[in-house]
Chain A
Amino acid sequence: MTHGRNSSRRTAGWGGIYRGHRARVGERLAEMGIFVVSLSAIALIFLIFLFVGREAWPILIQSDSVNSAAVQDVIPAVDLPKLSPEQIRAYLGIDAAQLDRMDSETIRELMLVREEAFASLPQSLQRDPDARLNTVRWRSLILPHQWAGYSRPEFIWQPIGEIHKYNIVPLLVGSLKTSLIGLAFAVPFALGAAIYVSQIARPRLREWLKPAVELLSGIPSVVMGSFALIVMATVLQRFFGYETRLNAFVAGIALGMAVIPIVFSIAEDALTSVPRSFIQAALALGASEWQAAWQIALPAALPGVFAGVVLGFGRAVGETMIVLLVCSASVMSWNIFDSARSITTTIAAEMAEAVAGNHHYRVLFLLGTILFAVTFVTNLLGDIFIHRLKRRLEGKQ
């Protein structure tokens, strides 16, 4: 059968060349399919932004449909005829379609329920001005507020109890604090190891040192976290003698261990990509290996090293399980020996208890959007640095 086709192709002679691409419609389609699938990475970035952002959207545009106030002013049911449909919808927190389906009796019932609910609240809460505060307003999300019973304005994240407090600043500080501790711990080690492995160690040693250090990246973060929780926390406390056993410092060190392989890998790649001829020239002039590494290789590989640090930071900010296991209390403090709660931890710990669609849920997605935006920027920066390194090293020849 194939034979027959072959011979017929042969008799077609050179004409086949011209007919060729017309006949391969299937191939064209398949190639178009390949092209479409190749868009998936771009599409996914958009989708992530879209769908994480979508759930946070009402807060981003500060829509009235999300209101976290514990006590909402009551409009007596008898006033119903005076209200416009918009006012009713805002008051009852329903959309237009739902409103259409209700008759005025149902609406009156709902308003009465609200009245009763208000009446059943404790007197103290009814009078508390904070209870009427919609804490998902930008002002409450970002600026400090003097809550009843506090002596001064404070940043508080406390999405439980009667009044939900959604100030995200303590979480930003928590993320920043743990990540910076992690970087401060990881960068010297990772960079030192990258210099040693790429420039100073004998090639034969290098061959197994690199995969050995990178083995660290194969340890799941939940394992690192539970190791930090059970072993490192005790050891570090004994060593430094601070009070709270679980704090940002322990989390930072554990984060650092997770970040080391990233910074190491990228910095080591960058240092190795510096042409050997530079290093040899320096050595031939009587430089020691350290001098050649520090004065010649490192300056040439600097963008790559920056990329490693920036991407390491992105990883540390985005790491969830380690901080979740090691510390959880959200305290607004820059002290490294205080507890801290990061953005990621907050999402992981509170998502399960947040009711889909309510203010808490939406604030958590807002945190996710912020996190995505932050890592988007760090990734982009890392990319730019690596491009710069490539250009720098290629432009030389």
Chain B
Amino acid sequence: MSATTIPSRPSLRGIRWRPVSNFFSGLTRLATFSILALLAILLSTILVNGLPGLSFRFISTIPKKDFFEPGSAAVLPMIVGTTVRVFVMTLFVIPIGVITAIYLTEYAASSSLYTRVIRAAVNNLAGVPSIVFGLFGVGFFINFIGRGFDSLTHQAGPQLGQPCLLWASMTLAVMTLPVVIVATEESLKSILPGLREASLALGATKLQTIIRVVLPNALTGILTGGILAISRAAGEVAPILFTGVAYYMRDLPKSPTDQFMDLGYHIYVLSTQSPNIDQTKPVLYATVLVLLVLTFSLNGIGILARARLRRSGRSDS
């Protein structure tokens, strides 16, 4: 029984053509670069068509009702509406998200059933369709809480029992809660356990350790979570459709119970309601560009901060 399988040694010289391997690894490369090409086409189309429409007037005036005309279109109230709604959102989502993350990393046993249920709930929440959050906003915030308050205070007309900035922001807060929890958890986990032990060894209580040592060190992570949540929420339209967005308003919103205009929703309006789509296109592209600049700059900051966090986390371990 001599070696039957490899009768002779082929030469090392000459790089073999391996058709199957080369074909398939070529395909994977093609897939990757096609995605990037698609992305590049998308972004460059928007950039090329949107830039000419951008002007200081465009982003700094309140448009008249005919915002489909390139001459009179402007997006100030939309920028304000989008910005305000995401910042009001952070007021709700960051405290709740951070506290939940603290519980998960600092208090809960990582393998207990209870933690697993919270984790599953967080993951699940992250996958709920945004339109369902919109319905939830109507059913819970407007119909239940808002109307409930109105009937308690015996208002003449609906005050809180109607779509408004506050409910839209809270709906978005529910939607982005998982983003904040996950980002904060990640940064809390990247803190050296030695740091906590050092604080505890000095006689600090667990809560003192968390407040004085853990949280300050996790600040970048928390901010990252906030930024990622904002950039996710800034472009979302479905959750605010019935909870507060307005087709047109003459003024900027003045109180949380006002309705507001929104960049994303405005893009939808421009693309579908225009009497003359060819004329509206420059306005549409410019508006898209404004929204993209807003979300991408936030996203970019978030990704950079996160990459830095990961790197420092890795060098720690």
Interface of A toward B, CB cutoff 8 Å:
24, 27, 30-31, 33-35, 37-42, 44-45, 47-48, 51-52, 54-55, 188-193, 195-197, 200-201, 209, 211-216, 218-227, 229-231, 257, 260, 264, 288-291, 293-294, 311, 314-315, 317-321, 324-325, 344, 347-348, 351-352, 356, 364-365, 368, 371-372, 375-376, 378-380, 382-383
Contact = CB atoms under 8 A, between A and B. Distances in A.
A344 B129 contact: yes
A318 B128 contact: yes
A56 B182 CA distance: 32
The interface size bin for chain B is 35 or more
B28 interface: yes
B234 A220 contact: yes
Contacts of A193: 28, 31-32, 35
B167 to A, nearest CB: 13
A211 B131 CA distance: 27
B295 A321 contact: no
B32 A209 contact: yes
Contact of A212 (B39, B103, B207, B237): B39
B261 to A, nearest CB: 14
A37 B35 contact: no
A264 B242 CA distance: 32
B21 A288 contact: yes
Given A220-B236, A379-B127, A383-B120, A351 B242 contact: yes
Determine the main DSSP class of B at the interface with A. helix
A320 B225 CA distance: 24
Contact of A37 (B99, B121, B236): B99
Given A37-B95, A220-B291, 11 more contacts: A44-B125, A48-B136, A212-B36, A216-B35, A218-B296, A220-B237, A290-B21, A318-B128, A347-B135, A372-B129, A382-B123
Interface stretch (B57-65, B173-181, B190-198, B248-256): B173-181
Residue in A24, A51, A352 with the greatest tally of chain B CB atoms within 10 Å: A51
A219 B237 CA distance: 12
Contacts of A214: 303
Given A34-B107, A55-B139, A27 B120 contact: no
Contacts of A45: 121, 124-125
Contact of B267 (A226, A311, A320, A352): A226
A175 to B, nearest CB: 10
Contacts of A224: 42
Interface string B199-230: 00000011100000000000000000000000
A222 B237 contact: yes
Interface in B97-142: 99-100, 102-104, 107-108, 117-118, 120-136, 138-140
B127 A215 contact: no
Contacts of B96: 37, 40
